[in-house]
């Protein structure tokens, strides 16, 4: 198996967020009347807690996009474009449960900032596995 490295995973993520933005920007324009929201446009709770309903919907949509893409189809749009797929450690298709776990743990991989934990683990692991991959028993491989 050829494990996907940091560079291909980064570009897949860029493509995924470009695809999501193609939906989010027009929705924001329709709902909020602007193409790009300013920090003052958001309703914040306490600290990092977001209470703006549109932002919460977008965060949920991002999570669902990755879970469905990887759990049902083996790859998001970005991974598919770059010839990557998410598999179990044995190379078989992952379950929706594994997709949920690996994507929930993006929160840990993102700590303390700029995905440092995930980047370090991908660079230091022979299987190029971030924390979420290790816990979920998944790997990102080249087709």
pLDDT in tens, 39-84: 666 665 566 666 678 778 888 999 999 999 999 999 999 999 999 9
Which residues have C-beta within 8 Å of that of residue 115, sequence separation ≥ 6? 109
What are 75-98's pLDDT values in tens digits? 999 999 999 999 999 999 999 999
CA 29 – CA 140 distance, rounded (Å): 35
CA 9 – CA 28 distance, rounded (Å): 27
Q: What is the DSSP letter of 138?
A: E
CA 111 – CA 96 distance, rounded (Å): 24
Closest CA to 141 of 122, 124, 127: 127
pTM score of the predicted model: 0.89
């Amino acid at each position: 198996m050829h494990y996907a490295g940091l560079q291909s995973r980064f570009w897949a993520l860029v493509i995924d967020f470009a695809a999501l933005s193609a939906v989010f920007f027009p929705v924001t324009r329709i709902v909020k009347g602007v193409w790009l929201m300013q920090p003052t446009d958001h309703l914040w709770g306490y600290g990092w807690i977001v209470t703006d309903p549109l932002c919460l919907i977008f965060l949920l949509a991002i999570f669902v996009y990755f879970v469905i893409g990887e759990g049902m189809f083996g790859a998001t749009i970005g991974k598919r474009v770059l010839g990557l797929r998410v598999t179990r450690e044995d190379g078989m298709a992952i379950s929706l449960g594994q997709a949920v776990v690996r994507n929930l743990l993006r929160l840990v991989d993102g700590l303390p900032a700029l995905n440092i934990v995930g980047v370090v683990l991908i660079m230091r692991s022979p299987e190029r596995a971030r924390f979420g991959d290790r816990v979920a028993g998944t790997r990102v491989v080249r087709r």
